[in-house]
Chain A
Amino acid sequence: MPEPHGSEPRLVIRGGTVIDANGERRVDVAVVDGRIQALEEGLAVPAGATVLDAGGCIVAPGLVDLHAHLREPGQEEAETIETGTRAAALGGYTAVVAMPNTNPPLDSADAVRNVFELAYTATAEVAVAGAITVGREGKHLAPMAELAALGVRLFTDDGAGVQSAGLMRRALEYARGLGVTLAQHCEDGSLACDGAMHEGAWSSRLGIPGMPALAEEVMVARDIALSRATGARVHFLHLSTGPSIELVRQAKALGLPVTAEAAPHHFSLTDACAADYDPVFKVNPPLRPPADVEAVKAGLADGTIDAIATDHAPHAPEFKDLPFDMAPPGMLGLETALGLAITELDLSLPRILALMSWQPAAIAGLDPGNGGGQGGPVDIGAEANLCVIDPTATWTVDPMALASRSRNSPYGGRTLSGRVRHTVFRGEPVVIDGEATR
C-alpha cells in the first residue's frame, strides 16, 4: 500500500455537513499535517488515508470548555490531565480551560509550566486559568503578568470568589493593563455560610444548610459595578439564578464588557434532586428551583449567557460516600454536556455550537482572532480541531463507562440525544466511532 506523501491528506472526514460561525455547507474535509487542506463535496481519498464517516452528521469546530477541573497536580485519584482530556475528547472538546484550584494552585509560573508540560501528550488543548490571588486565598494578587507572558488569558480563584471588593477592584485594574480577563465564581461567603444546597423549600424541608441565591447575586451585582468603574472585562462563571442573569442582561445592554457562562446541570437538574441526600447532586453553585432553570435556558436563548461550560469536577468515590453536607461539591460534565444541550435546550444546533465552541473560544482567547486554533471557522489552512456529531443518536449515560477517573455523574440512566462520533485534535483522530484512540 503506497504511503500518502507530502501534501496528500492523511485524514478525510466524509459525508457530513459542516457548521461553523459562518454557516452551514455540505462538504468533505481533508486534513494534512494538522491543518485543513481541502473542503469540497466528494473529495477523493488517497490510499492509506484515514476516512472518518460523517454520514448524517454535523462536522463542527471542536468544542471549547471554559471550565474544567482536571485535578492534576494534587488530586490525581480523582482525575488527571490524561483522563480528563480523554473525557473531553469523547465529549467533542478539543480545548479545555483548566481551573487553578489544584494542589499546588496555579498561581505561579512554575505551576503553570508544569500543567503545560503534563498536557503535552493530552488529547485536547489545555489552556490554564491562573489564580487571581496567591494560593487563591483572596489576599495578595498572583503574578498575573508573569502568567500572562506564558499565555494565560483567564484568571480566576474559582472554587471561591474574591471576597474583598477592594482587592477585586485592584485585580480588575491590573488585568485591564495586561489585556486579560478575570472570571469570577460569584459566591459571597458571608451569605453562603456553610450552605450545602440551594436555600429554599427543599433545603428547609430536608434540614440541609442552605446557600441563598443572594450569595451569587450580590457578587454579580458588585462585579458589574466594578467592571463599569474599571472598564475591565469580567467573565461570570456558572450563573445559576434568574436575578444574576437579569443583572448580566442589563449590564450588556449598557455595553459593559461582561460575558457569562452556564453549566449543563443548571439547565437540566433542580434542587429537588437532593431529596434523597445523594451527594452526587451536590454542586456549587447549587442546583436551583425550576424557575431558575428556566431563567438559565432563557439566558442561553437570548444571548445573555455566552457559553455553556461544564464545571467538570471529578471526585473520587470515597468522597461522595459521605453525608450530603460533608461531601465535596462538584459533578462530572465533559462527556455529557453536548448531549444535555441538544436534549434539554430548545435551540438549533448552530446556536448550541456557538455556545459550546466559537463563543467560549473567543472568551478564553483561544480563537484565531487571538492567535489560537480553536472554535473554527472550518477554513482551509485552519488548525484541524473538529468534532463530528450525530445529532439524532441516542445513548444512555452509564457513569461506570465514562472515561473520567471519577464516577460522580448525576446523569446515570438518563437517555440523551446527540452523540459525538469522532473528534479530531490538531489533525489527529482522538475519538473514532465514539471510542478514544488513546
Chain B
Amino acid sequence: MNRFPHHLLAIDDLGSEGIGEVLRVADSFVEVGHRANPKVPALRGRTVATLFFEDSTRTRVSFETAAKRLSADVLSFAAGSSSLKKGESLRDTVETIEAMGIDAIIIRHSSSGAPARVARWVTSSSVINAGDGWHEHPTQALLDLYTVRQALGGGDEGVHRFKSLQVIIVGDIRHSRVARSQIAAYAALGAEVTLVAPPTLLPPSLDGWPIVAVSHDIERELPSADVVSLLRLQSERGSGEFVPSLREYTAGFGLTGRRAAMLKPETLILHPGPMVRGVEIASEVADLPAAHITGQVSNGVAVRMAVLFLMLGQGQVEGGPDA
C-alpha cells in the first residue's frame, strides 16, 4: 500500500490523501514524544543524511531528531565543512553521499529546484526537500497544517474542517518557499487562501495559483479570517528595493495589537519563525494564546517523523508507530 511518494520535493507530490496520512501518522508520533523513552525502532538499519547548503539549525536538528527517534542512523553534511567549498559539484557530492548507502537525503539549498536535480541524480535514495530557494518547504507547511488541525479539534474531523477555512497569508510571498508550500497545502485540503502583501512582495504572476483572492489591505481581510499566517520579512527586503522601509511595512502590513483586535476570537495566528517582533508581528500579539509559532520543536519533530516513516518505513521494517 505504498502510495506515499518516493521523493518529497513539493506539497503537490502528496496530494490531499498524502497530507492527511502525514497528519494522522504524526498524531501517533506526538504520543511517542511524550513517552519517557521517545524512541521507536521503525527505521532501525536505515540511514538518513542531512545535506544543508544553507544554515538552518532548527530545521536540520528537527529532521535529525526525527530520524534518531525512529532509530535511523544519521549523517550530517553541512556545506561549510564539505568538499563543496573545494569546488566539488553538487552532483558529485550527492553521488558520493549516496554511495555510502543512504536511504534518504534531506536537502536544504539556496537554489530553487536543487532537490529536484538531486532527485534526478540519485539511483535509489529518497530525496526530501527541507527548503529550496523561493520554491517550497513542504515539511514546514505540513507542520502548519498539523498545528491548525490540532486547534480545530484534531483527528480526521480536524482535516475536514479545512474545507472553506478562510486563510490569509501575509507578507513576502514573492521570496517565500514557506508560502508556496502553505498555499498548495491549504488549497489541497479545501481551504480558501487569500494573499495579502504589497504588489512588490507578490510573485510576478499568480497564474494557476490555487488562491481565491489577492489583497493589499490587511485590515479588510482580518475580520473574516480563520487563520492568519504571517511570513518573515527579511530586513534586506525592507531596505528600499521592495518596500521603502521596515517601518513602512509594519505600518501597512504588520499585525499590530490594534489589528489583532479586529480578529474573531477563535482566529489562529501562525508564524513559521524566526519571528521579527515589531515588524511582521507586534510583541504583544505574538504572546497571545491564539498565536502559534510553528517553528517550535515538538510538533515539527512528529511531522518529520511521519514523513520519514511513510517514506522509508512502510511495510518494510518491523516496529511502526504503534509498535
Stretch of A91-99, A204-212, A301-309 lying at the B interface: A204-212
Tell yes or no: B208 within 8 A of A by CB.
Answer: yes
Tell yes or no: B108 within 8 A of A by CB.
Answer: no
Cross-chain contact A203 with B204 (CB below 8 angstroms): yes
Stretch of B114-122, B159-167, B298-306 lying at the A interface: B114-122
- Picked from B114, B177, B204, B206, the residue with its CB within 8 Å of the CB of A210 is B204
Tell yes or no: B56 within 8 A of A by CB.
Answer: no
- Picked from B113, B134, B180, B208, the residue with its CB within 8 Å of the CB of A201 is B208
Cross-chain contact A208 with B112 (CB below 8 angstroms): yes
Cross-chain contact A276 with B120 (CB below 8 angstroms): yes
Residue interface mask B127-162, A partner, CB < 8 A = 1? 000001111100000000000000000000000000
Cross-chain contact A325 with B89 (CB below 8 angstroms): no
Query: Residue on B with the closest CB to A209?
Result: B134
Tell yes or no: A323 within 8 A of B by CB.
Answer: yes
Cross-chain contact B113 with A324 (CB below 8 angstroms): yes
Cross-chain contact A205 with B208 (CB below 8 angstroms): yes
Q: Which residues of B contact A278 (CB under 8 A)?
A: 117, 120
Tell yes or no: A322 within 8 A of B by CB.
Answer: yes
Tell yes or no: B205 within 8 A of A by CB.
Answer: yes
Complex alpha-carbon distance, A160 and B243, angstroms: 29
Cross-chain contact B113 with A208 (CB below 8 angstroms): yes
User: Count the B residues whose beta carbon is within 8 Å of the partner chain — how many?
Assistant: 26
Pull 8 A–B residue pairs with CB atoms less than 8 Å apart, ordered by A: A199-B204, A204-B205, A207-B135, A207-B180, A277-B117, A318-B89, A321-B90, A322-B89
Complex alpha-carbon distance, A212 and B205, angstroms: 11
Tell yes or no: A44 within 8 A of B by CB.
Answer: no
Tell yes or no: B91 within 8 A of A by CB.
Answer: yes
Cross-chain contact B133 with A325 (CB below 8 angstroms): yes
- Picked from B109, B112, B117, the residue with its CB within 8 Å of the CB of A206 is B112
- Picked from A204, A277, A326, the residue with its CB within 8 Å of the CB of B204 is A204
Complex alpha-carbon distance, A207 and B112, angstroms: 6
Residue interface mask A297-320, B partner, CB < 8 A = 1? 000000000000000000000100
Complex alpha-carbon distance, A212 and B204, angstroms: 9
Residue interface mask B268-310, A partner, CB < 8 A = 1? 0000000000000000000000000000000000000000000
Supposing A206-B112, A206-B135 touch, asked if A323 and B117 sit within 8 A by C-beta, the answer is yes
Query: Residue on B with the closest CB to A202?
Result: B205
Tell yes or no: A391 within 8 A of B by CB.
Answer: no
Tell yes or no: A200 within 8 A of B by CB.
Answer: yes
Q: Which residues of B contact A208 (CB under 8 A)?
A: 112-113, 133-135
Complex alpha-carbon distance, A205 and B204, angstroms: 10
Cross-chain contact B133 with A207 (CB below 8 angstroms): yes
Tell yes or no: B82 within 8 A of A by CB.
Answer: no
Complex alpha-carbon distance, A179 and B65, angstroms: 70
Max chain B CB contacts within 10 Å: which of A200, A210, A325? A325
Complex alpha-carbon distance, A132 and B117, angstroms: 38
User: Count the A residues whose beta carbon is within 8 Å of the partner chain — how many?
Assistant: 22
Query: Residue on A with the closest CB to B241?
Result: A193
Complex alpha-carbon distance, A278 and B91, angstroms: 13
- Picked from A204, A210, A276, A326, the residue with its CB within 8 Å of the CB of B111 is A326
Cross-chain contact A325 with B208 (CB below 8 angstroms): no
Cross-chain contact A276 with B204 (CB below 8 angstroms): no
Within 8 A of B (CB), among A259-278: 276-278
Query: Residue on B with the closest CB to A201?
Result: B207
Residue interface mask A186-225, B partner, CB < 8 A = 1? 0000000000000111011111111010000000000000
Supposing A204-B204, A204-B205, A276-B116 touch, asked if A323 and B180 sit within 8 A by C-beta, the answer is no
15 A-B pairs besides A201-B207, A204-B209, A321-B89 with CB distance below 8 A are A203-B205, A204-B205, A204-B206, A205-B180, A205-B203, A206-B113, A206-B135, A207-B180, A209-B134, A277-B112, A321-B90, A321-B91, A321-B92, A323-B109, A323-B112
Complex alpha-carbon distance, A325 and B207, angstroms: 22
Query: Residue on B with the closest CB to A193?
Result: B241
Q: Which residues of B contact A204 (CB under 8 A)?
A: 203-207, 209
Q: Which residues of A contact B177 (CB under 8 A)?
A: 207
Residue interface mask B96-118, A partner, CB < 8 A = 1? 00000000000001011110110
Q: Which residues of B contact A205 (CB under 8 A)?
A: 180, 203, 208-209
Residue interface mask B178-214, A partner, CB < 8 A = 1? 0010000000000000000000000111111100000
* Interface set of A (CB-CB < 8 Å, partner B): 199-201, 203-210, 212, 276-278, 318, 321-326
Closest CB in chain A relative to B134 CB, distance in Å: 4
Complex alpha-carbon distance, A206 and B134, angstroms: 8
Cross-chain contact B120 with A200 (CB below 8 angstroms): no
Closest CB in chain B relative to A101 CB, distance in Å: 22
Q: Which residues of A contact B205 (CB under 8 A)?
A: 199-201, 203-204
- Picked from A201, A277, A325, the residue with its CB within 8 Å of the CB of B116 is A277
Complex alpha-carbon distance, A278 and B118, angstroms: 11
The 6 lowest CB-CB distance pairs between A and B, nearest first, are A277-B113, A323-B111, A207-B135, A207-B134, A204-B203, A207-B112
Closest CB in chain A relative to B219 CB, distance in Å: 26
Q: Which residues of B contact A325 (CB under 8 A)?
A: 111-113, 133
Complex alpha-carbon distance, A262 and B92, angstroms: 36
Max chain B CB contacts within 10 Å: which of A200, A203, A206? A206
Cross-chain contact B111 with A324 (CB below 8 angstroms): yes
Supposing A199-B204, A207-B134, A277-B117 touch, asked if A322 and B112 sit within 8 A by C-beta, the answer is no
Complex alpha-carbon distance, A207 and B120, angstroms: 19
Complex alpha-carbon distance, A322 and B92, angstroms: 10
Q: Which residues of A contact B204 (CB under 8 A)?
A: 199-200, 203-204, 210, 212
Complex alpha-carbon distance, A358 and B208, angstroms: 44
Closest CB in chain B relative to A380 CB, distance in Å: 55
Within 8 A of A (CB), among B67-93: 89-92
Q: Which residues of A contact B116 (CB under 8 A)?
A: 276-277
Closest CB in chain B relative to A85 CB, distance in Å: 29
Cross-chain contact A207 with B132 (CB below 8 angstroms): yes
Query: Residue on B with the closest CB to A324?
Result: B113
Q: Which residues of B contact A322 (CB under 8 A)?
A: 89-90
Supposing A207-B134, A207-B135, A207-B136 touch, asked if A323 and B114 sit within 8 A by C-beta, the answer is yes
Query: Residue on A with the closest CB to B202?
Result: A204
Q: Which residues of A contact B92 (CB under 8 A)?
A: 321
Query: Residue on B with the closest CB to A326?
Result: B111
Supposing A207-B177, A277-B113 touch, asked if A323 and B90 sit within 8 A by C-beta, the answer is yes
Closest CB in chain B relative to A45 CB, distance in Å: 53
Complex alpha-carbon distance, A160 and B132, angstroms: 28
Closest CB in chain A relative to B62 CB, distance in Å: 22
Complex alpha-carbon distance, A205 and B208, angstroms: 9
